[in-house]
Structures are given as C-alpha cells and as structure tokens.
Amino acid sequence: MHESRQGDTETLNREIRDELDRVGEDIARSQDLGSLKQSISQRLEFIGNTMERFRQREQEREDLLAGQLEAMQEKVAAMEAHSEQMQQQVREERQRAMTDLLTQLPNREAWQERLLFEFNRWQRYQQPLSVAVIDIDLFKKVNDSYGHKAGDRVLQLVSRELRSRLRETDFIARYGGEEFVLLLPETGVETAEEVIDTLRNRVAVLPFHFGGEPVNITFSAGLTEFRANDSVETVFDRADRALYQAKDAGRNRTQSV
C-alpha cells in the first residue's frame, strides 16, 4: 500500500512537471495569444484531470484502509468476546469444581484453598483467626430411621441455616458427610464460641419433621484459634480433637481449646 502510494505520487509529480515544461515550450513557440491560451487551457485541464485521478486513487486507498481497519477492529472485538466467554466458562467450571452439589456450600477443596489464604493473612497481620469443626449429632440414626433422602434434607437445611447466620467475611464449607468447617477471621476464640453457640441453638429449634414425626437435630462443635507456631494442620487437628471432646461430653455442645 505504501509503495503504491509513493509510486502514484512520483507519477503525478512527473506528469505535472512534464506538462509545465510543455507550457513553457508552448509559450516559446506561440505565434498568437489565442492559440497560446488554448494550449495552456488544455495543459491545465490535463493537469487537473491527472490530479483528480490521483485524488480518486487516494480516496480508494483510504476507503480500503478504513475497511481493513474496521474488519480488524471487528475481529479483535470478536476475539475479546470469545476470550471473555472462555474465561467465564473457566470461572464457572472452577466454581462448580469447588462447590458441594448437595448443599451448594464450598467443598473440601475450596476449604483447603481458603484456609491457606486466611493462614497466610493471619501470619502477615496477626489478627485473630478461629477455626471450627461441626458435626451433626446422630446423623446416621436419621439416615437409618428415615432414609437417605431425609438425611440429605437435613444437610441442606442445616447448611442453609449456618450460611445465613454468618458474616460475609466468614467462610463455611462441607468437609464431608455430616461434617462442616468454619473460618472466622478477626475473631478470637471466646467471641467465636458465642457465634457457634448461637448457630447451634438456631439449628436445634429448626422444625424438622419426617414421617409425620418431629425430629430434633443438633450438632457438636470443636473450636480453636491460631496461635504462635501453628500451621494449618496443627490448628485443624486441635479443632478436630475438640469436636470429639464435645461428642464425648454428651453432644449438642461447643468445646473450645
């Protein structure tokens, strides 16, 4: 495109120079004013036509460039839209991979990722960070007495109640079976125990009915907070041991360590 334009410009300049030279020759050879005026008029008309052809070719080039630019912009926009669509699909697939299908809570993989994130944040800022492990009491009895559909319903209702009572900054996940795990950022163990007890009392009064019978659903919880020299493994093990202490102490209670 650049070479074509340069060639046309050189041709235009050459033709104009040639015509101007011929005008000079006509003036030198002219015998009368009438024939000179006619000759100069023809030369000027030729120059005008030459310049008009050049202008038309320039316009065609500009139109072509504009069309190519528009096509390129449309292609870039289409590529960006496709890229955004692919990124959205990746985000959705990742979200599905990190979500428990039954309860729609984050799953164990999501828990491990968030736990590590909050642990690193705790190491940096040294703000309180509490961890709770929750287990629905006598859940096997619900499954055995009323069937697995009833058990699934219990998990869904308990999950919904727990999630609705937590702060946006808190994190809850289904760890597996009837077990749930919670992260309570910027919350010491004493305040966290109050939070867990409130959740426990809320679940205990939920109106569960199976086979026409009221069923009391409770949970036990083990609770601890991060301390100096803790790792994600040590703090989770400590909360898990506290859960078993709560179970051994009679269930439907919170044990903090």
- Contact call for residues 235 and 127 (beta carbons, < 8 A): no
Distance CA 199, CA 24 (A): 104
User: Can you tell me the distance from the alpha carbon of 164 to that of 182, in angstroms, rounded to the nearest whole number?
Assistant: 13
* 8 CB neighbour count, 10 Å cutoff: 15
Token couple for 49 = 């036509």
What's the rounded Cα separation, in Å, for the pair 41 and 70? 43
223-233 pLDDT, tens per residue? 999 999 999 99
* Average pLDDT score over residue span 30-49: 71
Q: CA-to-CA distance for 164 and 251, rounded, in angstroms?
A: 23
Q: Give the pLDDT band of residue 2 (cuts 50, 70, 90).
A: low
Q: For 69-101, what is each residue's pLDDT tens digit? A: 888 888 888 888 888 888 888 787 877 889 999
CA gap 154, 160 in Å, rounded: 10
d(CA 192, CA 158): 19
Q: Residue 209, Cβ neighbours under 10 Å: how many?
A: 9
Q: What is the pTM of this model?
A: 0.70
By annotation, the residues acting in catalysis are: 178
When computed from its CA atoms, the radius of gyration of the chain, rounded to whole angstroms, is: 41
If DSSP codes are grouped into helix, strand and coil, which group holds residue 156?
Answer: helix
Integer Cα distance of 113 and 190 in angstroms: 25
